[in-house]
Amino acid sequence: MNALRGATQVAAEKHQTLTGMTEETVPTPTPAEELAYMNALFYMTWAADMRAIKRWQAAGTGRELTWPDHADLVVWLLEQLDVAEGKFDAITKLEGQEGMTDAKFVQTVLGVV
């Protein structure tokens, strides 16, 4: 329970810094509010992890019934981000080319994607 109190204190200090409110005016959450916050945070994190795992499984890793190690999952997601950013950069460069008709742009983009 001390960790919760410590986390609450840090949150209160950050709130104070951002809003300029004094410690007396910062509301202190009740234990029930803290518990509700922690539960909501856990379930949001869990749902995000499940979405990432489903993407990993569907991507043809050959391990549809396996959950990846969290570190491996993060590395894989970062690799997917790099690929997507590369495609985005290629498409952005195409948009700036002179003489690029809409039809040619679409054909080229479909080749990039």
Tens-digit pLDDT profile for residues 21-65:
666 666 788 899 999 999 999 999 999 999 999 888 888 767 777
- Classify residue 21 as left (phi > 0), alpha (psi -120 to 50) or beta: beta
Tens-digit pLDDT profile for residues 61-99:
677 778 888 898 899 899 998 888 888 887 777 766 766
Separation CA 13–CA 26 (nearest Å):
9
> pTM for this structure?
0.54
Residues listed for the chain: 113
The domain locations on the chain are: 1-66, 69-113
Q: Which residues fall within 8 angstroms of residue 83, CB to CB, at 6 or more apart?
A: none
